[in-house]
Amino acid sequence: MSGSFLVDSHAHIQGEEFSDDIDGVIQRAKQAGVEKIVVVGGAGDLASNQRAVALARSHDGLFATVGMHPHDAKAVSEEELAQLRELAKDSKVVAIGETGLDFYYNHSPREIQMKIFRRFIGMARATELPLIVHDRDAHREIAELLLAEGERKLRGVIHCFTGDYQAAKAFLDLGFYISFSGIVTFKNAAPLREVAQKLPLDRIFVETDSPYLAPVPHRGKRNEPAFVRLVAETIASVREMPLEDLIHATSQNAHALFGI
Ligand SMILES: [Zn+2]
Ligand SMILES: [Zn+2]
């Protein structure tokens, strides 16, 4: 591997989709050159966050984050926010998230999504941890909230980015990184590949968002961290650069943000 390894910067492998074969999943990731995996909390409830931290604690190369997905914002209590903040003190926790806004599905009312997002921005500032942001059809509102609440002291990443270059540029200007998932490999994603081609190399992340969004040729099946290599291959190819260099750069970026 000539010293370069991949980082899957966003995977929900603490869920029941992986409970039968988690060791195999981690093993296959290692075989694919994925040495580090960020296990992202926020897929549902407090228990999923606790499982993310427990999984990270029991494996070298695994790290955790704590948060609540915007889909679930309406169900988040003050008590849970307090417990998440406690959980964030664990030495294996490297970020707050995922959090953000999803104005496509609107599973929680928009005002409540914004209220909870503000709380997590506050938690990121209080803990001095970076933020992992979910953005679906809410680029402008997210950029405004990051600016208003973050006062340019926030660091973080917009995960599973699906916006255009202009939206990406607004987040770069706020000091954020942009993370690409398996969507960048999809046949109809030419505009997104163009964004991946144009962004500065020192601001790009790769992720799987497992178990969702498996890249081609696994589209529609369960995703797993080993497949982050396919995301990296696609971006290296559109940038017409050696895969090794893309892998090296994205791992450096993850190191710079998460300290991993
Ligand atoms: Zn997300
Ligand atoms: Zn996610």
Q: What would the pLDDT profile of 168-202 be if each residue is shown by its tens digit?
A: 999 999 999 999 999 999 999 999 999 999 999 99
Q: Flag whether pLDDT at 206 surpasses 70.
A: yes
Measured in angstroms, how far is the CA atom of residue 69 from the centroid of ligand 1?
7
Predicted pLDDT at 257: 98
Q: What would the pLDDT profile of 212-232 be if each residue is shown by its tens digit?
A: 999 999 999 999 999 999 999
Q: What would the pLDDT profile of 240-258 be if each residue is shown by its tens digit?
A: 999 999 999 999 999 999 9
- For each of the domains in the chain, give its residue range(s) and CATH number, in order of start: 6-258 (3.20.20.140)
Measured in angstroms, how far is the CA atom of residue 252 from the centroid of ligand 2?
21
Q: What would the pLDDT profile of 111-157 be if each residue is shown by its tens digit?
A: 999 999 999 999 999 999 999 999 999 999 999 999 999 888 899 99
Measured in angstroms, how far is the CA atom of residue 2 from the centroid of ligand 1?
32
Measured in angstroms, how far is the CA atom of residue 3 from the centroid of ligand 1?
30
pLDDT band of 99, cuts 50, 70, 90: very high
Measured in angstroms, how far is the CA atom of residue 181 from the centroid of ligand 1?
10
Measured in angstroms, how far is the CA atom of residue 33 from the centroid of ligand 2?
21
Q: Flag whether pLDDT at 1 surpasses 80.
A: no
Sequential DSSP letters for 105-164:
T-SS-HHHHHHHHHHHHHHHHHHT--EEEEEES-HHHHHHHHHHHHTT---EEEES--S-
Measured in angstroms, how far is the CA atom of residue 127 from the centroid of ligand 2?
21
User: Can you give the pTM of this predicted structure?
Assistant: 0.97
CA separation (Å) from 174 to 58, 120, 122, 165, 260?
A: 35, 17, 16, 14, 22
Q: What percent of the chain has pLDDT over 70?
A: 99
Ligand nearest to the CA of 14: 2
Q: Which residues surround ligand 1, an ion (CB under 5 A)?
A: 134
Q: How far apart are CA 176 and CA 204, in angstroms?
A: 10
pLDDT band of 3, cuts 50, 70, 90: low
Measured in angstroms, how far is the CA atom of residue 142 from the centroid of ligand 1?
13
Ligand nearest to the CA of 99: 1
Q: What would the pLDDT profile of 30-47 be if each residue is shown by its tens digit?
A: 999 999 999 999 877 899
Measured in angstroms, how far is the CA atom of residue 96 from the centroid of ligand 1?
13
Q: How far apart are CA 93 and CA 39, in angstroms?
A: 9
Ligand nearest to the CA of 10: 2
Measured in angstroms, how far is the CA atom of residue 238 from the centroid of ligand 2?
24
Q: What is the mean pLDDT of the chain?
A: 96
What number of H helices and E strands is found in the chain? 9, 8
Ligand nearest to the CA of 135: 1
Measured in angstroms, how far is the CA atom of residue 2 from the centroid of ligand 2?
30
Predicted pLDDT at 65: 98
- The values of phi and psi at residue 210, to 5°, are -50, 145
Predicted pLDDT at 152: 83
Measured in angstroms, how far is the CA atom of residue 55 from the centroid of ligand 1?
20
Ligand nearest to the CA of 138: 1
Q: What would the pLDDT profile of 54-87 be if each residue is shown by its tens digit?
A: 999 999 999 999 999 999 999 999 999 999 999 9
Q: How far apart are CA 199 and CA 129, in angstroms?
A: 24
Q: Flag whether pLDDT at 2 surpasses 60.
A: no
